[in-house]
Structure 1
C-alpha cells in the first residue's frame, strides 16, 4: 500500500508515524515544502520572549529520526496539483524546480494554513512579520534590541501572546483589534475584558474597534501605522489576524467550508474515498456544535493520530474521533485564562436554551500562603442542567482546573453532579469545597 501524506508538521507527521506503526507493509511518504518536520509554532511567541533560547526545542522530531522510523521524506517539495481520479500528484522540487509525478493508494492532506495578510498598503515591508515560521521569528529576535515601538495587528491568541512577551522585555507595544474585544472567539466579553486588563497591566496598549489602513514606509520599512482612528509609530509590525487553510491548489475538488477548510467525517475521510485530511487545513467535529474550523495544535495532533490509524487499516478496523471541545488557554501577564465547550454567545447562536453562572471564589484555603481569586463561568442547559461550557480567569492554579471542566462537558455531566464531585483537597491546592464545586452549586 502506497500512503502519501502532504504536509509534515503537526497532523501530517502524527498521521505518518502512526500509519507506519499500524501497517508495517505500507510505504509511507511525507511531502513537505519546508526543509523541516514536526515543528511546534505555538512556541514561537515564547521563543521571541526569551522563555527559552534553543529553537530546536520547538521541533518534536528531526528528519533523520523520521527516516530512521521507516518514513520516506521529500523535503523542499510542494504538491501543486492532485488528480483524484487517477490518484496522481504533481510535485515541484523547490530546490531544482523539477517536476515529478507520484501515485498513491491512499492520500492524506495535512497542508496546514497560511496567516492572513490583509491588503494594507506597505504590508510587504521588510519589518512586517507573521509569527508562524522559525526563520522569520529568529530574524526578528536577533534584531529585537534595535526596536522599541512595536505594533501588533490582531488581538487573538498569537497577537496577545506576542504582545505580552514583548512588553515583559520593556518594549512599547500597541495592539490594534477590529472587534470590540480581544480574544472574542473562545471567551465571552467579561473574560475578554479581564484578559485585556491583565495584558494592559504589563504596559500593552490595546485599541479595539480600530482598523489598520496604511503602513507608512521609508526606505522599505514601516515607520508609522495609520488606522481609522489614530497613528502609531512603529519600528516593527506584527500581523496576527487569523489563518486561511492551504487548500487553493485543490481547486474546490473536495467538499469545503467557505474559508477553504476541507470537510472530513469522524474517521478523517474527505468527500473523496481514500483521501483523508486533518489539521489546520480541515474541519473538525465539535461534540456540541457539529462541523467547525478549529485550528488548534491539540486537535491537529489527535486527528492526525486517528487518520494514521485509518489510512493504514481495513475499514472494519477504523477509529472514529470522539469529538473536540475547542479547549484552549492563554497566559496574560500575571494571569491565566481558559475556555472549553460553548461560550454563552456560541450557545445562544446555536439556539440552545441555556442559563449561566459566573462566580469569583478562592483557589485554596485562606490560611495557606498566597490565596488568589478565580473567576469561573459555567454555561448549562436551562432545563436539564447539562454543562455546555466553562471559562476561567485567575492567577496560580487556574488553567489546570479546566481539565476537570472539559471532562465534565465531554461526559455530559450536569451542574448538580459537578457540584458534588469528589475532587482532591489539601490546603495548598484547594478548599474543602473545590472552586469547581462552588461554581456548579450556584447554578440555579
Structure 2
C-alpha cells in the first residue's frame, strides 16, 4: 500500500507516524514544502518573548527520526496538483525546480494554512512580520534590542500573545483590532472585555473598531501605521489577522467551505475516495456545531492520529473521531482565560434554546494565601439543563478548571449534575464547594 501525505507539520506527521505503526508493510511518504517537519508554531510568541531560547524545543520530531522509523521524507518539495482519477501527485523539487510525480493508493492532505496578508499599502516592507515560521521570528528576536515601537494588527490568539510577550520586553505596543472586541471568536463580550483589561494592565494600548489603512514607509521599511482613526510609530509591524487554508492547488473536485477548507467526515475522509484531510486545511467534526473550521494544533494532532489508523486499514476497521469542542486558552499578563464548547452567541446562531449564568467566585479557601476571584460563565439548555459551553477568566488556577468543564460538556451532563460532582478539595486548591460546583448551582 502506497500512502502519500502532503504536509509534514502537525496533522501530517501524526498520520505518518501512526500509519507506519498500524501497517508496517505500507510505504509511507511525506511531501513537505519546508526543510523541516513536526514544527509547533504555537511556541513562537513565547520564543520571541524570551520564555525559552532554543528553537529546537518547538520541533517534536527531526527528519532523521522519521526516516529511521521507515518513513520516506521529500523535504523542500511542493505539491502543485493532484489527479484523483489516476491517483497521482505532481510536485516541484524546490532545490532543483524539477517536476516529479508519485502515485498513491491512499492520500492524506495536511497542507495547513497561510497567514492572511491584507492588501495594505506598504505591507511588503522588510520589517513587517507574521508569527508562523521559525526563521523570520528568529531574525525578529535578534533585532529586538534595537526595537521600541511595535504595532500588532489583529486581536486574536497570536496578536494578543505576541503583544503580551513583547510588553514583557519593555516595548511600546499598539494592538489594533478591526472588530469591537478582542478574542471575539472563542469568547462572549463580557470575557473579551476582561481580556482587554488584562492586556491594558501590561501597558499595551488597545485600539478596537479600528482598521489599518496604510503602512508609512521609508527606504523599504515601515516607520508608522496609519489607521482610519490615527497614526502610530512603528519600528516593527506584526500582522496576525487570521489564516486561509492552503488548498488553492486542488481542483474543484473536493467539497470545500467558502474559505477553501476541505470538508471531511468523522473518519477524516473527503468527498474523494481514498483521500483524507485534516489540520488547518480542513474542517473538523464538532460535537455540538457540526462540521466547522477550527485551525487549532490540538485538533490537528488528534485528527492526525485517528486518520493515521484509518488510512492504513480497511473501512470496517476505521475509527470515528468523537468530535471537538473548540477548547482553547490564552494568557494575558497576570490573567488567563479559557473557552470550551459553545459561547452564548454561537448557541444562538445555532438556534439553540439556551440560558446562561455568569458568576465570580473564589479559587480556594479564604484563609489560604493569595485568594483570587474566578469568573465563570455556563451556557446550557433552557429546558434540559444540558451543558453546552463554558468560559473562565482569572489568575492562577483558572484555565485548568476548563478541563473539568470540557469533560462535562463532552459527556452531555446537566448543570444540576455538575453542581454536585465530587471534585478534589484541599484549601490551597479549592473551597469545599469547588468553583465549578458554585457556578453550576446558580443555573436556573
Aligning the two structures, in what range does the TM-score lie when normalised by the shorter sequence? over 0.9
3-state DSSP of counterpart to 2:399: coil
In structure 1, how many angstroms separate the alpha carbons of the residues matched to 2:234 and 2:222?
7
In structure 1, how many angstroms separate the alpha carbons of the residues matched to 2:38 and 2:364?
39
In structure 2, how many angstroms separate the alpha carbons of the residues matched to 1:251 and 1:174?
41
1:125 and 2:125 matched: yes
* CA deviation after TM superposition for structure 1 residue 252, in Å: 2.2
Q: Tell me how many residue pairs correspond in the alignment.
A: 444
Gaps of 5+ in 1: none
Counterpart for residue 301 of structure 1: 301
Counterpart for residue 6 of structure 2: 6
Provide the aligned C-alpha RMSD in A.
0.4
In structure 1, how many angstroms separate the alpha carbons of the residues matched to 2:94 and 2:373?
54
3-state DSSP of counterpart to 1:248: coil
Per-residue CA distance 1:58-106 (angstroms, 9 max, x = gap): 0000000000011100000010000000001111000000011110000
3-state DSSP of counterpart to 1:51: coil
In structure 2, how many angstroms separate the alpha carbons of the residues matched to 1:33 and 1:169?
33
Q: How does 1:104-253 map to 2 (within 5 A)?
A: 104-253=104-253
3-state DSSP of counterpart to 2:249: helix
In structure 2, how many angstroms separate the alpha carbons of the residues matched to 1:157 and 1:382?
31
Counterpart for residue 32 of structure 2: 32
Counterpart for residue 384 of structure 2: 384
Counterpart for residue 276 of structure 2: 276
* CA deviation after TM superposition for structure 1 residue 251, in Å: 2.6
Counterpart for residue 100 of structure 1: 100
In structure 1, how many angstroms separate the alpha carbons of the residues matched to 2:101 and 2:293?
31
In structure 1, how many angstroms separate the alpha carbons of the residues matched to 2:438 and 2:73?
52
* CA deviation after TM superposition for structure 1 residue 27, in Å: 0.2
In structure 1, how many angstroms separate the alpha carbons of the residues matched to 2:175 and 2:119?
18
3-state DSSP of counterpart to 1:250: coil
In structure 2, how many angstroms separate the alpha carbons of the residues matched to 1:174 and 1:412?
42
In structure 2, how many angstroms separate the alpha carbons of the residues matched to 1:252 and 1:239?
30
1:258 and 2:268 matched: no
3-state DSSP of counterpart to 2:389: strand
Counterpart for residue 291 of structure 1: 291
* CA deviation after TM superposition for structure 1 residue 253, in Å: 1.9
In structure 2, how many angstroms separate the alpha carbons of the residues matched to 1:349 and 1:277?
27
Counterpart for residue 87 of structure 1: 87
Counterpart for residue 412 of structure 1: 412
In structure 1, how many angstroms separate the alpha carbons of the residues matched to 2:197 and 2:247?
38
In structure 1, how many angstroms separate the alpha carbons of the residues matched to 2:251 and 2:71?
28
In structure 2, how many angstroms separate the alpha carbons of the residues matched to 1:286 and 1:232?
41
Moved beyond 2 Å, runs of 4+ = none
In structure 2, how many angstroms separate the alpha carbons of the residues matched to 1:86 and 1:47?
44
Counterpart for residue 71 of structure 2: 71
In structure 1, how many angstroms separate the alpha carbons of the residues matched to 2:428 and 2:384?
34
In structure 1, how many angstroms separate the alpha carbons of the residues matched to 2:347 and 2:187?
12
3-state DSSP of counterpart to 1:436: helix
In structure 1, how many angstroms separate the alpha carbons of the residues matched to 2:107 and 2:263?
15
1:437 and 2:440 matched: no
Per-residue CA distance 1:167-208 (angstroms, 9 max, x = gap): 011000001100000100000000000001001000111000
In structure 1, how many angstroms separate the alpha carbons of the residues matched to 2:251 and 2:435?
50
In structure 2, how many angstroms separate the alpha carbons of the residues matched to 1:17 and 1:252?
30
Counterpart for residue 59 of structure 1: 59
* CA deviation after TM superposition for structure 1 residue 126, in Å: 0.3
In structure 2, how many angstroms separate the alpha carbons of the residues matched to 1:387 and 1:239?
36
Counterpart for residue 310 of structure 2: 310
In structure 1, how many angstroms separate the alpha carbons of the residues matched to 2:182 and 2:296?
18
TM-score normalised to the size of structure 1? 1.00
In structure 1, how many angstroms separate the alpha carbons of the residues matched to 2:296 and 2:60?
17
3-state DSSP of counterpart to 2:142: helix
3-state DSSP of counterpart to 1:364: coil
Counterpart for residue 397 of structure 1: 397
Per-residue CA distance 1:151-172 (angstroms, 9 max, x = gap): 0000000000000000011000
Per-residue CA distance 1:326-366 (angstroms, 9 max, x = gap): 00000010000000000000001111110000000000001
